[in-house]
Amino acid sequence: MCPSSILILKNCMNIRDLFQLIHWPQFVLIFLIVFGGTIFLIKKRTYFYYDPGWITIFGLAIGVSLVEYLYLVEEQGEIIHAIYVITAYCFFILGIKLTSKIFIIKTPSHTQNYININKESNEIKKLKIIISFLQLLLIFLLIVRASTQGLAIFAIDPEMAKVETNTSGFGLITRIVGPAIVMSSAIGMLFYTLKLVNWKRLIFMLTPTILLLLSSGSKGALLSLAAGYAVALAYQKRVFQNFNIPKNGSTIASMIVFLLSYSLLVLLLRGSDEENPLLFAVTTLAVRFLAFGDALYYFFFNELYLSISSQPISYLWDYLIVPTFAVIRLLDYEPTLGLRISGEMFGMERGGPNPTMFVEAYVYFGFLFGLVYVFFIGVIFQYFRFNAFGAFKKFSAWNYLRFAILFSIASTVPVDMILVTSDVINSLFVLGITWLILQIYTLFSNSYRKFMPQDKFENRMAPNEIVIDRQTKS
């Protein structure tokens, strides 16, 4: 780049401005080396080639590539930071590899290559009751949000509107919606992969979930459906030894095409007043990909590392104690690390980047101990993804929901640990409500059974003898 461009880069304050100055062939080359090397090292530590874990790795690789590009090509930043980021990334990969070697040897208990629906009818019935309750809950929350705050998708700035929906006393809705969507998507996709429903029935079953995702104002929200599909496949791979992941990726490809089309449509609507709406949409979408590295850029290249630092003991307070007790209003929420970065950069009180494990480690533990922190982030990431609490002894509804929740939370672990704590608390809350509803339903169902003539009850409740051969599944 010319000297004038470098001078502009030094004063660049926003990731969108930086996007305009990057020499893309050189950046892409560095990214391909980083991401390609990662694929080579951990490809056997994932479930399949469209595993959602790759999205997390992709985002981290962009952040690492951005730091190395700015130092090596643009001669920006400090060499110590360039070394720290690439070393921390290697420690993260090391955590993944070591954890997978420890827990991958635990093989599933089930050896059959089919599921007898008659044998598992009680667990399937539980999941049907749970997804029915979750969809009713999501419909109710959608109505409440639309009638009180409106829907973010119709706002002038959907991203800011999405932030606004978490304030003014309505944060409880968001805390319930997140886990409910994860659980309902995972259940629906399990039924789909088991051939219990076709794709039309699946869409009808998940209509409330889809409506909430479309109205959220988040273009990446629809990834929840793809994640649910991956959960269903990964769980069966984890539980049944002879289960084979479908090689045909048409289902996930269709979801990705729909997601990108929806994202472009939303951006075209937002840029309708621009001179070239299509250029605005494509550029904004591309900036979002570069924004995976925005926290690293703001923190290390705008000298925020000199003004933002904390002690290791503060990590427990900021990431465990406050998120836990602030939910029940025993403590007040404090500015998160992302908000502190946003406040230093732009004076914003809301929003802010996800700090990622690199910045969290540097702020709370410094260079050396930060590497240890990132290593354990890799351990937790892989541990959650494989749910390595011992091999599953049998297929069950609650077993599956636990897997779905931890599999989903795993992708957030390297991105923002405060979100992990919040997701755990929210998931336990929704799981508790769901468990209570299921007990109430069972109680009333048993009471109804006592008053119903035995012959009629047996005629109505006789299970179908259905066996699904997994080898015939696509």
Choice between 336 and 371, residue whose per-residue pLDDT is larger: 371
pLDDT at 452 > cutoff 80: no
Model confidence at 294: pLDDT above 60: yes
* More confident of the two residues 469 and 152: 152
- Residue 2 pLDDT level (bands cut at 50, 70, 90): very low
Residue 106 has pLDDT above 60, yes or no: no
Name the residue ranges covered by the structural domains of the chain: 3-106+292-380, 114-284+396-472
pLDDT digits (tens, 9 = 90+) for 372-414: 999 999 999 999 998 765 545 678 889 899 999 999 999 999 9
Structure confidence at residue 453 (pLDDT): 55
> Chain-wide mean pLDDT for the chain?
82
pLDDT band with cut points at 50, 70 and 90 for residue 240: confident
Tell me the mean pLDDT in the region 243-248: 75
Counted residue by residue, the chain has a size of 474
Residue 471 has pLDDT above 50, yes or no: no
- Is the per-residue pLDDT at 92 higher than 90? yes
Q: What is the mean pLDDT of residues 320-328?
A: 86
**Model pTM?**
0.86
Question: What distance in Å separates the CA atoms of residue 300 and residue 315, rounded to the nearest whole number?
Answer: 20
pLDDT at 215: 78
- Of the pLDDT bands very low, low, confident and very high (cuts 50, 70, 90), residue 110 is low
What local confidence, expressed as pLDDT, does residue 462 receive? 41
Residue 83 pLDDT more than 90? yes
